[in-house]
């Protein structure tokens, strides 16, 4: 366990593989649900959360008779020209969530609408963020990270750390990544704008779970948590988070931190009492 200069508790965890790392991450969210009466689960999308959600769904099937409530709030979504209510594009984050973590019984679930007027949707989602933050007895946010630039949600290099929900122009790295994921590599078909929760919205969380797997994440993980705090690396804002930060890695994504900072940075997962930490 690593205590940062402010009031943040940072816990770096390294696992042999993605599967074990994902299972531990899921357990954090499961224990948060069992502990807190009104849990706000900030969701992310992409490849990183897939196994985390699978394990979380499996764990939640064991819950019986809980009176606790769960609300999901998605970080971001594309702005899709031509999208209509009830006719979502196949790459919609709403569809992705409905087919995964939203299967868990919950009170409410929110996602920015890709079919709304962007300016109007910014206002609507700001109201949702304020209302759900007020409702929650605990807010826990899941994050992934951009391989090269360290973007979190759709907050790109240069975005202010005090930013709230806003419309963003997607950079080339993100466009190419989404082209490979959804469009067979054709960047011309990828939406060029998105709506995203701001960095300040993310930092409101009581606890943040940052997960990243694979060698491509290794350098940016080190830069984000041991480098300069700068808007050039959006994830470096997490160093300023006044709360609990779990950084969950596999052997490959942890390799640069291990090489430059030493193995002592990493806590032994068996020594971590999640209930007590939360």
CATH of the domain at 120: 3.40.50.1360
pTM above 0.75, yes or no: yes
Residues 272 and 11 sit within 8 Å (Cβ to Cβ): yes
Domain boundaries, position 269 = 2-252+264-277
Name the pLDDT band for 117 (thresholds 50, 70, 90).
Answer: confident
Q: pLDDT digit string (tens) for 63-102?
A: 877 889 999 999 999 888 667 777 777 777 888 899 999 9
pLDDT of amino acid 4: 52
DSSP state, residue 72 = E
Residues 212 and 47 sit within 8 Å (Cβ to Cβ): no
If one compares 115 and 136, the residue with the highest pLDDT of the two is 136
Q: What is the mean pLDDT of the chain?
A: 92
- 257 within a domain of the structure (yes/no): no
Domain count, the chain: 1
- 82 within a domain of the structure (yes/no): yes
Q: pLDDT digit string (tens) for 152-185?
A: 999 999 999 999 999 998 888 778 887 887 788 8
- 259 within a domain of the structure (yes/no): no
Q: pLDDT digit string (tens) for 17-39?
A: 999 999 999 999 999 999 999 99
How are beta strands 193-196 and 76-79 bridged, if at all?
antiparallel
Helix (H, G, I), strand (E, B) or coil at 234: helix
């Amino acid at each position: 366990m690593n205590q940062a200069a402010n009031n943040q508790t940072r816990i770096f965890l390294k696992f042999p593989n993605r599967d074990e790392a994902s299972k531990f991450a899921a357990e954090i969210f499961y224990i948060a649900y069992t502990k807190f009466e009104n849990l706000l689960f900030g969701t992310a999308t992409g490849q990183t959360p897939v196994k985390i959600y699978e394990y979380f769904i499996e764990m939640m099937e064991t819950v019986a008779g809980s009176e606790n409530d769960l609300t999901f709030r998605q970080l971001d979504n594309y702005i899709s020209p031509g999208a209509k209510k009830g006719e979502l594009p196949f790459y919609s984050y709403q569809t992705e969530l409905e087919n995964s973590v939203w299967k868990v019984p919950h009170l409410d679930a929110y996602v920015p609408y890709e079919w709304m007027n962007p300016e109007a949707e910014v206002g609507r989602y700001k109201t949702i963020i304020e209302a759900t933050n007020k409702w929650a007895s605990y807010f826990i946010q899941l994050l992934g990270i951009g391989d090269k630039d360290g973007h979190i949600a759709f907050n790109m290099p240069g975005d202010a750390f005090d930013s709230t929900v806003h419309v963003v122009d997607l950079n080339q790295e993100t466009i190419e990544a989404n082209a490979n994921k959804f469009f067979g590599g054709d960047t011309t078909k990828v939406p060029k704008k998105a709506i995203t929760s701001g960095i300040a919205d993310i930092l409101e969380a009581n606890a943040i779970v940052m997960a990243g797997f694979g060698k491509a994440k290794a350098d940016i993980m080190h830069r984000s948590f041991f480098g300069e705090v700068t808007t050039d690396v959006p994830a470096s804002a997490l160093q300023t988070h006044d709360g609990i930060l779990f950084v969950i890695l596999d052997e490959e994504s942890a390799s640069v931190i291990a090489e430059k900072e030493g193995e002592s940075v990493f806590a032994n997962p068996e020594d971590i009492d999640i209930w007590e930490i939360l």
